[in-house]
Structures are given as structure tokens and as C-alpha cells.
């Protein structure tokens, strides 16, 4: 992802120490027998999957989790030798490679298990799996006692599939009302009982649940957004058992400065017009970098002050209105701290009607990641 070239000052600075601190602090509040599964899907929520996984492993994480087979393989390629779980459904064509690369896959349903058993018939090795139980997320997983019994029958008929874990996923663990989460947890515990033996990892909690309900931690928690220092929701932000440390800062530098002589139009659509004398700076960051077009009313930080974006955000650049003349090369923070000011992913998310998760994964690949604190 990080190319060889680095002539553009637009970069995402990732503080590996922050990731480590978040994992360490979570471990402190969890029961001692509970492990942390580091969720590094979508390139570690934009922070870099390998670097994030490594940071978590340094703090004793027991496993990394990703969404897709390719993400798992790329972690293996980059030298991660610890257990890797693919959370989403994988195609049957991936299973032999999963065995070769020692990647754990999720059993998303009865039909899949049958196809997997057919595909792997007669092989000597076995596929490591975790069974997904759908207790109310409505995405993937077996949903009832009947489905579990069918699944168990299939599993009994094959030695090629080994169940090492069972898990479920909460749909509303980040919301004020905890009733659904409690119901999901109860249903999960009830359904787990149908398995003749309890596998070594039974897990349910995502970041929100891990931070709010340590009593739902079971054998492991799947720590995603919180690992990067971002609260899953405003509700969770109010109830944090420890301070999360933000790991990513998005920065650039002023690339061009001019003073308007007259009322001058700025950017596509000419939706902004300067006053005579205004100082306008151009920044080398645009919507192809993740500065979404909808952020046209957002501010950036320059010399610790909030500076407004003006006019339409372009694909690769945008303009801001300076309070005074500033030099080209002046540091600009789009996400993160400068002086006493801070702009968070939550602020961007609120501005464009989404959640911080989406902001994190929208920071484009072409924005070079730089790591420090290792
Ligand atoms: C993404 C994901 C997680 C992590 O969720 P966070 O809210 O980021 O902690 C956990 N489990 C599953 C199944 C997921 O898909």
C-alpha cells in the first residue's frame, strides 16, 4: 500500500503506541481468562492491517480477525504467523488454501457446511472453523436448535472440519437500550449448549460490548473500532471504562496560496466567491483521498486554529480561507490534534450523516500511512 514514492505531503500518521495502549487497557478490564481478537478487516479500519495486528499481538492478542479470504492471505504474506479468523462467509474454493495457510474460517450456515464437507471429503488434514450463530444480527449464522442439530450431523460425518470456536454478533451493543443485546446473549448461551463439547473459543462481544459489558466477554472479545481509539457510538463514548487513544492523524501541507484581488469564484460550480483581499490556500487532498465531497462545510486545523474549507471539494485538492497570509508548506491537520484544537472522525461523520467506522475506512490507499511509536 505504501508506495515507494512520497512526494505528496498528504499522509495518515498512525501511532502504534495508541493501538497498543487500547489493547492493553482493554485487557485490564476483561476477566483474566478472556482473550482479545484484534479485528483488522478493511486494512485495519484504514490504519494498516499488518501494523495494527502486530501492535495487538505485542499486547497479547490471541488472534486476528478479517472479513475476507484475501485479507487473511495478505496478513499471512506479510509475516503474521498467529491465528487468523475470517469472519465473513468464504467460498468453498478457498478451503484448501485455508488449510494450507492455517486460516480459520467461519461456518455461516448448514448448506455451506454440507458443501464444505463434500469438497473436503477424503483429505487427511482438517479445516479449522468457528461456527456463527445468528442470535439477532440477521446477517449470517445458524439461527435455531434445528439448524444446529443439522449442522452437528454434518460435522459428525466428516473429520475434515474441526470446530474450534462458536460466536455470535450483537446488532445494538452500542445503543442506550441494552435489552436486545441481553436477549442475544441469552439466546447465544442457550444455543451453545447444543454442541456436544464446548470448543475452546466461545465469543460474542464486539468493541461496544467489550467496553460496556465485561460480563459478556466469555473466552474472547472481538475488538475492532475501539482498538484504533474510536468509540463505537456516542453512547459508548459516554460510558468508556478507560480513555481510548486515537491512533490516526490525517495531515497535509498548504500547496499554493493566493490573495483574491476582486470577488473571485472558487472551485467547481463557482459556489463560493471570495471577498477582495481574502487569502485562499489550496490543499493537496480531495475526495479521492477520503475527504468526502459532502465535507464542504468542514474545517481544517492550521496553526491550531479552525480554518474553513471553501467551495466544492475536488478529487485531489480543496481550498480553504486563511485569516491571513500563510506560507506554502504550512502544516495542516484534517483529522487529529493541532495546538489545543482537535477534529475527530466523529465530527466528520456527524457532518455527513454517517458513523466514524465509515470515515476510517474511507481514507484512500493513495494516502501514505506512516507509522511511529513502534
Ligand atoms: C467488524 C466486526 C467486529 C468488530 O466490530 P467493532 O464494532 O469494530 O468492534 C466484530 N465481529 C464481527 C463479526 C465483525 O464483523
Expressed in angstroms and rounded, the spacing between residue 65 Cα and the centre of ligand 1 is 9
- Whether residue 321 contacts residue 283, with contact meaning beta carbons closer than 8 Å, is answered with no
User: What CATH number is given for 16-235 in this structure?
Assistant: 3.20.20.10
pLDDT digits (tens, 9 = 90+) for 137-185: 999 999 999 999 999 999 999 999 999 999 999 999 999 999 999 999 9
- pLDDT-derived band at 1 (thresholds 50, 70, 90) equals very low
Expressed in angstroms and rounded, the spacing between residue 74 Cα and the centre of ligand 1 is 19
Every domain of the chain and the residues it spans: 16-235, 248-343
- Whether residue 252 contacts residue 11, with contact meaning beta carbons closer than 8 Å, is answered with yes
Catalytic residue among 28, 41, 45, 357: 41
Global confidence as pTM: 0.97
Expressed in angstroms and rounded, the spacing between residue 222 Cα and the centre of ligand 1 is 6
Expressed in angstroms and rounded, the spacing between residue 10 Cα and the centre of ligand 1 is 29
**Is residue 123 scored above 70 in pLDDT?**
yes
pLDDT digits (tens, 9 = 90+) for 235-245: 999 999 999 99
The confidence score (pLDDT) of residue 5 equals: 76
Pocket test for ligand 1, best of 22, 87, 131, 165 (most atoms within 8 A of CB): 87
Catalytic residue among 28, 200, 263, 268: 268
226, 296, 304, 311, 321 from 352: Cα distances, Å: 21, 10, 23, 16, 21
Q: Whose CA is nearest to atom 15 of ligand 1?
A: 87
Q: Whose CA is nearest to atom 4 of ligand 1?
A: 224
DSSP class of 275: P
3-state SS assignment for residue 272: strand
Residues 273-300, mean pLDDT to the nearest whole number: 98
As a whole number of angstroms, the distance between CA 249 and CA 359 comes to 12
Q: Whose CA is nearest to atom 1 of ligand 1?
A: 224
Expressed in angstroms and rounded, the spacing between residue 212 Cα and the centre of ligand 1 is 15
**Is residue 294 scored above 90 in pLDDT?**
yes
Known active-site residue 268? yes
Summary mean pLDDT of the chain: 97
Contacts of 87 (CB under 8 A, 6+ apart): 39, 41, 65, 66, 67, 106, 222
Q: How far apart are the first and last CA of the chain?
A: 19
The confidence score (pLDDT) of residue 4 equals: 63
248-343 carries CATH number 3.30.420.480 = no
Residues 249-272, mean pLDDT to the nearest whole number: 98
Task: State which ligand 1 atom lies nearest to the alpha carbon of 206.
Answer: 9
Known active-site residue 41? yes
- Whether residue 223 contacts residue 37, with contact meaning beta carbons closer than 8 Å, is answered with yes
Binding-site residues, ligand 1, Cβ < 6 A: 39, 41, 87, 169, 206-208, 222-226, 232
Task: State which ligand 1 atom lies nearest to the alpha carbon of 87.
Answer: 13
- Whether residue 92 contacts residue 119, with contact meaning beta carbons closer than 8 Å, is answered with yes
The confidence score (pLDDT) of residue 3 equals: 53
Amino acid at each position: 500500500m505504501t508506495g515507494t514514492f512520497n512526494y505528496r505531503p498528504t499522509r495518515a500518521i498512525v501511532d502504534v503506541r495508541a493501538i497498543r495502549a487500547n489493547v492493553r487497557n482493554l485487557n485490564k478490564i476483561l476477566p483474566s481468562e478472556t482473550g482479545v481478537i484484534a479485528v483488522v478487516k478493511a486494512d485495519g479500519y484504514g490504519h494498516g492491517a499488518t501494523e495494527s495486528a502486530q501492535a495487538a499481538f505485542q499486547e497479547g492478542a490471541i488472534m486476528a480477525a478479517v472479513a475476507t479470504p484475501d485479507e487473511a492471505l495478505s496478513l499471512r504474506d506479510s509475516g503474521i504467523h498467529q491465528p487468523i479468523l475470517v469472519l465473513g462467509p468464504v467460498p468453498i474454493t478457498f478451503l484448501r488454501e485455508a488449510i494450507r495457510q492455517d486460516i480459520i474460517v467461519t461456518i455461516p450456515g448448514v448448506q455451506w457446511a454440507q458443501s464444505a464437507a463434500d469438497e473436503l471429503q477424503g483429505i487427511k488434514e482438517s479445516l479449522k472453523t468457528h461456527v456463527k450463530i445468528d442470535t439477532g444480527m440477521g446477517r449470517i449464522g445458524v439461527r435455531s436448535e434445528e439448524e444446529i442439530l443439522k449442522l452437528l450431523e454434518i460435522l459428525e460425518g466428516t473429520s475434515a472440519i474441526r470446530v474450534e470456536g462458536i460466536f455470535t454478533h450483537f446488532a445494538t451493543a452500542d445503543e442506550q437500550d441494552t435489552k436486545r443485546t441481553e436477549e442475544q446473549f441469552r439466546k447465544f448461551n442457550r444455543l451453545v449448549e447444543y454442541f456436544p463439547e464446548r470448543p475452546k473459543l466461545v465469543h460474542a462481544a464486539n468493541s461496544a460490548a467489550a467496553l460496556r459489558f465485561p460480563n459478556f466477554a466469555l473466552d474472547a472479545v472481538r475488538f475492532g473500532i475501539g482498538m484504533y481509539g474510536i468509540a463505537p457510538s456516542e453512547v459508548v463514548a459516554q460510558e468508556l471504562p478507560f480513555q481510548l487513544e486515537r491512533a490516526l492523524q490525517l495531515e497535509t501541507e498548504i500547496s499554493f496560496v493566493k490573495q483574491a484581488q476582486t470577488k473571485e469564484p472558487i472551485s467547481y460550480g463557482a459556489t463560493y466567491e471570495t471577498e477582495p483581499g481574502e487569502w485562499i490556500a489550496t490543499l493537496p487532498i480531495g475526495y479521492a483521498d477520503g475527504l468526502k465531497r459532502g465535507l464542504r462545510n468542514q474545517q481544517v486545523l492550521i496553526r491550531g486554529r479552525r480554518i474553513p474549507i471553501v467551495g466544492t471539494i475536488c478529487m485531489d485538492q480543496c481550498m480553504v480561507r486563511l485569516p491571513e497570509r500563510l506560507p506554502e508548506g504550512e502544516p495542516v491537520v484534517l483529522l487529529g490534534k493541532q495546538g489545543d484544537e482537535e477534529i475527530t472522525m466523529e465530527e466528520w461523520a456527524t457532518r455527513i450523516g454517517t458513523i466514524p467506522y465509515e470515515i476510517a475506512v474511507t481514507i484512500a490507499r493513495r494516502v501514505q500511512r506512516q507509522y511511529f511509536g513502534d
